[in-house]
Chains A and B, each alone.
Chain A
Amino acid sequence: MDLLLHLIKKNEVSITDIPIATITEQYLATLELMQNLSLDVAGEFLVMAATLIHIKSRMLLPAGDNEADEDEGVDPHEELVRRLLEYQRYKEAAAELEQRDLLTRDVFVRSATPMEEAGPRGFREVSIFELVGALKRVIDRLPKDAVHEVALDKITVREKMTLLLETLRGHGSVFFESLFAEVKSRVEVVATFLAMLELVKVRAIRVFQEEMAGPIMIEAAARMEEAAEQVVLDQTEEDRHGA
């Protein structure tokens, strides 16, 4: 829905008067791009693509073919327009809500709960699509060594977590790419990536970028020390069981 509305806006056309052929083409092109980037195209996108193609195909049929219309019950084109208008309505409502005096952004109360961490002003959150895209670039850059080396060193996600936390304690923030500078194998890349995701989950770090398609940054977040302690605890626990 969002992608469709975005395309309609980009083409500067009205929702009620969508050039179906053009929009369908652009929609499919965007999906193809997403697939080329090896991103999962969610089922919903495919449903929308099918709807667009369905509408386009109906428009090619001679007009006055009422039988077909009655089969359908609802004209898919009208239905799509209705849904787009409805969606746009809530999108606008959301924008209006966002402009209100938000607690902990515009107005504050006494004993204000410590503000949640989020990307610095003007920085945007990195979507999972972008992260996976960045990961793919790292993997592609690995030497395509045909020899399969059996790594004796056991690489654990926990080690990578410790390493990442140490780096951040020293530097405050690092580039996503630089995490993988020393990394030699696919296994290691994946372990590092998982370590990063795990730390994001417990809010020990945050991942953001300054602009769309800009470099991805990682920095320490509120619960970093807490997480670091937990990692050490878990490690000790594991060592004891292992021994």
Chain B
Amino acid sequence: MEREEVKSILESLLLVADGPQSVRRFSEVLDGVGDDTIESALRELQSDLDMQNRGIRLAEVAGGYQLRTPKVNADWVKKFLGGRPARMGKATLETLAIIAYRQPITRAEIEAIRGVDVDGVIATLLERNLIRAVARKDVPGRPFLYGTTPEFLQLFNLQDLSHLPTLKEMEEISLPEVPPDTVALDHLEEN
């Protein structure tokens, strides 16, 4: 198959696809075409769209590829669609950030960080499918451990969790003797 042909087919598949699609999914359809070829064709398509300042761009999100509109056109698209985007409250966003960076994490652990009850926020996040219960922690009460979903990655335009913005170090901390993350462990060793 000609390279241009592969690119053209991929573009079509991306257009009709529902959600981000993995390279594997494409190679299942384009049998005989290697993953390498597909991947490089996708990259070429991606740079073509960027170079030509097109109204659609190829984004790498949630472990796959997806056509998305560029940010510069956001206002026009919004005007066209009419509605208004769902906004996320501060409490929701903060809780989601804690879960994203600390997953898997229990409700009690989140509350220890935020200092307030997070029941309602957790319910909202579960309802919006941005987090899910991934396991139960092996402590009394066997509380749920929460983690983020692929929808979370899609919402924040993230390829995977390793692409989360780096968490700022707590550089100005005045407790040099114990780095905060090791507090619990040190206590265990003492006992």
Interface residues of chain A, those whose CB is within 8 Å of chain B, are 1-2, 4, 14-16, 42, 44, 48, 78, 81-83, 85-87, 89-94, 96-98, 100-112, 114-121, 125, 222
With a cutoff of 8 Å between Cβ atoms, the chain B residues found around residue A117 in the complex are: 83-84, 86
Shortest beta-carbon distance, B167 to chain A, in Å? 6
Residues 54-85 of B at the A interface (beta carbon under 8 Å) = 59, 66-71, 74, 77-78, 81-85
Interface residues on B, range: 35 or more
Identify which of A86, A97, A103 contacts B154 (C-beta below 8 A).
A103
Interchain CB contact under 8 A, A100 and B180: no
- Complex contacts, B94 vs chain A, CB 8 Å: 90-91, 94
Contacting residue for B167 out of A83, A89, A108, CB 8 A: A89
**Set of chain A residues within 8 Å of B114, measured between Cβ atoms:** 1-2, 87, 90
Leading 6 A-B pairs by shortest Cβ distance: A1-B115, A116-B86, A115-B83, A94-B97, A16-B174, A105-B85
* Complex contacts, A92 vs chain B, CB 8 Å: 168
**Which residue numbers of B lie inside 8 Å of A, CB to CB?**
15, 18, 59, 66-71, 74, 77-78, 81-90, 93-94, 96-98, 100-101, 112-117, 154-158, 164-165, 167-168, 170, 172-175, 180, 183
User: Can you list 8 A-B contacts (CB < 8 A)?
Assistant: A16-B173, A81-B173, A89-B170, A92-B168, A107-B71, A116-B86, A117-B84, A125-B87
**Complex contact A93–B101 (CB within 8 A):** yes
Please give, as numbers and ranges, the residues of chain A lying within 8 Å of B174 by CB-CB distance: 16, 78, 81
Nearest chain A CB to B110 CB, angstrom units:
10
User: Are A118 and B84 neighbours in the complex by a CB distance under 8 Å?
Assistant: yes
Q: Which residues of B contact A85 (CB under 8 A)?
A: 170, 172-173, 180
Of B15, B59, B87, B117, most buried by chain A (CB within 10 Å of CB) is: B87
With A81-B174, A106-B74 already in contact, the answer to whether A120 and B115 are too (CB < 8 A) is no
* B81 and A114 within 8 A (CB): yes
**In whole angstroms, how far apart are the Cα atoms of A91 and B114 in the complex?**
9
Q: Which of A2, A107, A109 contacts B74 (CB 8 A)?
A: A107
Residues of A within 8 A of B113 (CB): 1, 83, 86-87, 90
CB distance from A233 to the nearest CB of B (A): 25
Partner of A115, one of B84, B170, B175: B84
List, in ascending order, chain A residues with CB within 8 A of B59's CB.
107
Contact residue among B98, B117, B173 (Cβ-Cβ distance under 8 Å from A82): B173
Residues of B within 8 Å of A109, CB to CB, are: 66-69
Which chain A residues lie closer than 8 Å to B158 at the CB level? 100
Asked whether, in the complex, the Cβ of A118 is within 8 Å of the Cβ of B170, the reply is no
A86 to B116 alpha-carbon distance, docked (Å): 14
- For B85, the chain A residues whose CB sits under 8 A away are 102, 104-105, 115-116, 118
Asked if A81 and B175 sit within 8 Å, CB to CB, the answer is: yes
Q: Which residues of B contact A112 (CB under 8 A)?
A: 81
Interface centre among A2, A78, A83, A101, by most B CB within 10 Å?
A: A101
**Complex contacts, A108 vs chain B, CB 8 Å:** 68-69, 74, 77, 81
Instruction: Say whether A86 contacts B180, CB under 8 Å.
Output: yes
